[in-house]
Amino acid sequence: MSYCINLDCPQPKNPPNVTHCQTCGASLHLRDRYRALRALGRGGFGATFLARDEALPGHPPCVIKQLRPSADAPHILEMARDLFQREAKILGKIGNHPQIPRLLDYFEINQEFFLVQEFINGNTLQQEVRRGGPFSEAGVKQFLSEALPLIQYVHNSGVIHRDLKPANLIRRDEDKKLVLIDFGAVKDKVSPVQPNSSEQTALTAYAIGTPGYAPPEQMAMRPVYASDLYAIGVTCIYLLTGKSPKELDYDPTTGEMLWREYVHISDHFAGVLQKMLEISVRHRYQSVESILRDLDLEPYMDSLAQNMAFPANPGRNNSPNSGPNSSDLRDMTSPSGGTSSPTSRMAAAIRARRERATRTGAAPPAARDRMMTNGPQTAGRSGKVSGGSGGSGGQRGKLTAEQIKTAYAKGQRDFSMQNLPGIDLQKVTLAGANFNQAQLPKGNFQGADLTGANFGRANLTEASFRSANLGRAYLTNTNLQGADLRGANLSYASLGQCNLRGANLCGADLTGARISLDQLALARTNWSTVYPNGKRGLMQ
């Protein structure tokens, strides 16, 4: 089928091979190249069409956005042209990201404006909620872990999206990644916004936004980066409740959205959403980084960076099936060792800031406790080992990290009852080692292989096991209060009677582990924690 793009045509549907509309006579070949197939959306401002590019082999699909100003006044036409060119410039600038549609062409014909973009096949988040119902807390956190780095990329490019909402986020069928669409095309001149138009994007002079999703400063034509963060907060409420902003009540005094009674989420997550939804820009989150930090998503930013990789790819074609392969996880560091994506750079910045705050004491005590940061580690002091080299059971001489590694390489496995505060054993292999009843507070075992190790009755308060392998380790009656176990493998580990008060298990794998729900309730977990039953997400 061919589709007539004349907005005044009463019968736009035509047979597939005709060159002109059989009803109004308009050409069905736009710029002698693009043939519209069907309408995707239509309004007073113009329309959006699914089309195909008949000038390219295979006639790949594309999307044509048509803008026809609703008035003939010169200043309206000039404003429309300015915003049209602005959107084309923005898409040309940031459209090399695989989660933003590429700009393929743009042009003006008879005071009508056209953008041709990459076609994204999939459902919007609005469609997902309408078909599958509201998201869980874990589902919304997963959404944020995908959407926030993408928004950070947009902001780093000097762009404020200004129309973030579920209808402008598409879950691409091919790889299930979110794609952000609609970068500022003129929607309509609405002054004032009509009550029944709250689902339509409004333009008052140069203020673009969807009422309910756009915060007050944006509708007052003073948008800032934090305006997008408010819109993402409202999007989260929609995902949790299935209710659009117009279906919720507002505090008549403050103008704040009243949403809390409709959701069942943790107090911590509710606090994050509340700060995203602050009416006052001053009290709202100012950056994506601060939200990620409060959500404790920083441990996973490196893996997110891999999923968000967008290296230059001149060979990328126009097919909607030419997007990135979600299983193709690339190393996001350059040969020189520097990070090569905004997401991985963001993770490094978060870590550096946390470390500085901890070293200088700049962060308040409550914030430092919440961060669960690894401070600078103190290596175990050297000392003589009674009874010969190595650390045998019952020996209490202080070992250095190097002595432990050397002894282990020579076959020694027993380091029980050693007094080793602050020992630095990161990224070492100590599988099967015996640290029974050892004193290891603030020890650094980050990234270490401790498979099957025995830490029974050991003191591991505030120790770091971040990304360590503790599979089948024995940790019964161990004191892990305040320990950092983010991303650690604890599958089939024995954790009976282990003190996990304040321990950070965000992203840890506890598949098959021996641990009680009461113990887990004392620890910090998040949407990426895998519980003993193999399920991922927050405890119910």
Q: What is the pLDDT of residue 285?
A: 96
Domain that holds residue 50: 2-118
Would you say residue 394 has pLDDT above 50?
no
| End residue of a domain, out of 249, 268, 295 | 295
> What CATH number is attached to the domain comprising 423?
2.160.20.80
Which residues pair with residue 58 across a beta bridge? none
Q: What is the pLDDT of residue 17?
A: 85
In a shared domain, residues 431 and 529: yes
How far is residue 76's CA from residue 54's CA, in Å, rounded to a whole number?
33
**Residue 320: inside a domain, yes or no?**
no
SS3 484: strand
By mean pLDDT, which of 245-254, 323-332, 439-448 is the weakest? 323-332
Give mean pLDDT, residues 350-378.
Answer: 44
SS3 90: helix
Would you say residue 402 has pLDDT above 80?
yes
Q: Residue 454 has what DSSP assignment?
A: B
Would you say residue 175 has pLDDT above 50?
yes
Confidence of residue 304 (pLDDT cuts 50, 70, 90): very low
How far is residue 460's CA from residue 477's CA, in Å, rounded to a whole number?
11
Which residues pair with residue 67 across a beta bridge? 46, 113
Would you say residue 127 has pLDDT above 90?
yes
Give mean pLDDT, residues 105-129.
Answer: 90
Cα angle, residue 141 at apex, residues 140 and 144 outer, rounded to 5°: 90
- Tell which wins on pLDDT, 195 or 459: 459
Confidence of residue 345 (pLDDT cuts 50, 70, 90): low
At 479, which amino acid appears?
A: N
Would you say residue 254 has pLDDT above 90?
no
In a shared domain, residues 127 and 233: yes
Q: What is the pLDDT of residue 86?
A: 79
**Residue 441: inside a domain, yes or no?**
yes
Give mean pLDDT, residues 211-231.
Answer: 90
Q: What is the pLDDT of residue 483?
A: 96
- Tell which wins on pLDDT, 48 or 379: 48
In a shared domain, residues 161 and 248: yes
In a shared domain, residues 133 and 109: no
Instruction: Report the percentage of the chain scoring pLDDT > 90.
Output: 41
Q: Residue 466 has what DSSP assignment?
A: T
> What CATH number is attached to the domain comprising 148?
1.10.510.10
Confidence of residue 305 (pLDDT cuts 50, 70, 90): very low
In a shared domain, residues 425 and 513: yes
For the entire predicted model, the pTM comes to: 0.56
Would you say residue 335 has pLDDT above 80?
no
Q: What is the pLDDT of residue 191?
A: 35
**How many structural domains does the chain have?**
3
- Mind listing the pLDDT tens digit for each residue in 84-116? 787 788 888 787 888 999 889 988 888 788 989
**Residue 394: inside a domain, yes or no?**
yes
In a shared domain, residues 446 and 408: yes
| End residue of a domain, out of 56, 90, 118 | 118
Confidence of residue 38 (pLDDT cuts 50, 70, 90): very high
By mean pLDDT, which of 41-55, 289-303, 325-339, 421-435 is the weakest? 325-339
In a shared domain, residues 129 and 114: no
Q: What is the pLDDT of residue 197?
A: 43
Q: What is the pLDDT of residue 194?
A: 43
How far is residue 502's CA from residue 481's CA, in Å, rounded to a whole number?
6
Would you say residue 51 has pLDDT above 80?
yes
Would you say residue 313 has pLDDT above 50?
no
In a shared domain, residues 41 and 29: yes
- For the question of residue 509 being annotated catalytic, the response is no
H helices, E strands: number in the chain: 12, 14
**Residue 88: inside a domain, yes or no?**
yes
Q: What is the pLDDT of residue 355?
A: 58
| Contacts of 293 by beta carbon, 8 Å cutoff, 6+ apart | 350, 354, 371
How far is residue 91's CA from residue 75's CA, in Å, rounded to a whole number?
24
- Tell which wins on pLDDT, 494 or 367: 494
In a shared domain, residues 34 and 69: yes
SS3 296: coil
In a shared domain, residues 68 and 28: yes
Closest-CA residue to 332 (of 309, 363, 355): 309
In a shared domain, residues 197 and 260: yes
At 425, which amino acid appears?
A: L
By mean pLDDT, which of 23-37, 54-68, 194-208, 229-243 is the weakest? 194-208
**Residue 539: inside a domain, yes or no?**
yes
Token match 């820009």: residue?
A: 281
Q: Which of 53, 105, 163, 188 is labelled catalytic?
A: 163
By mean pLDDT, which of 18-22, 378-382, 528-532 is the weakest? 378-382
In a shared domain, residues 106 and 182: no
Q: What is the pLDDT of residue 296?
A: 73
| End residue of a domain, out of 118, 143, 169 | 118
Confidence of residue 323 (pLDDT cuts 50, 70, 90): very low
Cα angle, residue 538 at apex, residues 276 and 372 outer, rounded to 5°: 70
Is residue 505 within 8 Å of 522, Cβ to Cβ?
no
- Mind listing the pLDDT tens digit for each residue in 447-504? 999 998 999 999 999 999 999 999 989 998 999 999 999 999 999 899 988 999 999 9
Q: What is the pLDDT of residue 45?
A: 62
> What CATH number is attached to the domain comprising 45?
3.30.200.20
**Residue 362: inside a domain, yes or no?**
no
By mean pLDDT, which of 68-72, 429-433, 440-444, 449-453 is the weakest? 68-72
